[in-house]
A and B are shown apart, each in its own frame.
Chain A
């Protein structure tokens, strides 16, 4: 394994500081929301993780396309990293949303477009890893993974649009409000600050994790190659 780049170490430190700051801004700096009380504070992490989860999902689909064109294994590693890290973040998003929904909507779960799309996306991720686990040849595994990441990326927006046809109660905090939404709130200046801190912190953390995962992928490949060489 090659030496750990200095930039990566800097990124590690930045991630810790960023997450610390995001936690501070969410727990202390932001005011308590008037109706919902303290549970609204998970909103900052909810948005932060949803944002990077979405980025990771788009990156995975794009990496899939690039891999199919170039057949360069580094894009496969990039794609796996994007899927895995984004699956982890989406999981947090869903759980936080559910925890917030319990006091706000009086239910842990509702089949709303965002919730459903997030859940379907998580299933696509699981299917992605099951597909890869069933293939021995690394080249074929990469190829099929790329195809599936691409299909998943294409179907997710359509899933969202389809489920939007069924009615929703998910609040739209930024942008136009949904008249039927429940549990929305007006964001004051310091709430916005806290949200942007969380977005920034999770973006840095996401890049950091991606990098580590790509390095792990490179190590996996190296071990696989030497294993092949030894067994021959």
Chain B
């Protein structure tokens, strides 16, 4: 593997910028993710009867479930577009390290997910008068969780688009492997919303960081094997 150089980062950013530019022109992916998120929250509202007492304990869970589902939608679409338009072949022919593609796609996927979160969270806060989610710690956990989720998700979506059952396969592949991210995030952000002190959620936070580091490193190392022709 080559040593990361300035051109490495430039190439990563170029790929991410290409995706973002395409998306901000068509907005089809983001709008799908957003509408979907709102629908999930609407369903949760009636399924769980989100009154004040219940909300105190389930806010973190509802938000994370919503983001996980919306995330698979985005991951699937963003990789399928590359594959269908033949962009992937073009990218693979480019004289750059394969991991550049991984980081480029991961960054654009992460941006999509963060944009959705940035819209859904204020909406949730407004709908339920839940201002406790506007805490720096909460945002931090959200960021760490999204990074881990997107790192594995980008790798797995690159695999699932190459299979026969591609659209249905991604969540089935992703959820069992992403269980630690989702549970640790729910645990940590739930504690933050409940107003517990730092020492009560430092363990899930550490596990979240461990997961992020391990899975970014591993995805970086094995992405080559996933896109190889």
Contact = CB atoms under 8 A, between A and B. Distances in A.
Direct A–B touching, Cβ under 8 Å: yes
Interface of A: 68, 120-121, 123-124, 126-127, 130-131, 133-136, 140, 143-144, 146-148, 150-152, 154-155, 158-159, 161-163, 165-166
Nearest to A152: B177
B162 interface: yes
Given A131-B169, A134-B164, A135-B163, A158 B176 contact: no
A160 to B, nearest CB: 9
Contacts of A126: 172
Given A134-B169, A151-B218, A163-B183, A68 B176 contact: no
B163 A151 contact: no
Contacts of A163: 183
B164 A158 contact: no
Task: Summarize B's interface: helix, strand, loop or mixed.
Answer: helix
A134 B163 contact: yes
B207 A135 contact: no
A105 B96 CA distance: 58
A131 B163 contact: yes
Interface residues of B, number: 34
Interface of B: 152, 155-156, 159-160, 162-166, 169, 172-173, 175-180, 183-184, 187, 203-204, 207, 210-211, 214-215, 218, 222, 225-226, 228
19 contacts: A123-B176, A126-B172, A127-B172, A127-B173, A130-B173, A133-B165, A134-B163, A134-B169, A136-B164, A143-B225, A143-B228, A148-B159, A151-B155, A152-B176, A155-B180, A158-B211, A161-B180, A162-B184, A165-B203
Interface core residue of B177, B187, B211, B222 (most chain A CB under 10 Å)? B177
Contact of B226 (A121, A124, A147, A158): A147
B179 A120 contact: yes
A131 B184 CA distance: 26
Contacts of B214: 154, 158
A134 B218 contact: no
Task: Summarize A's interface: helix, strand, loop or mixed.
Answer: helix
Contacts of A121: 176
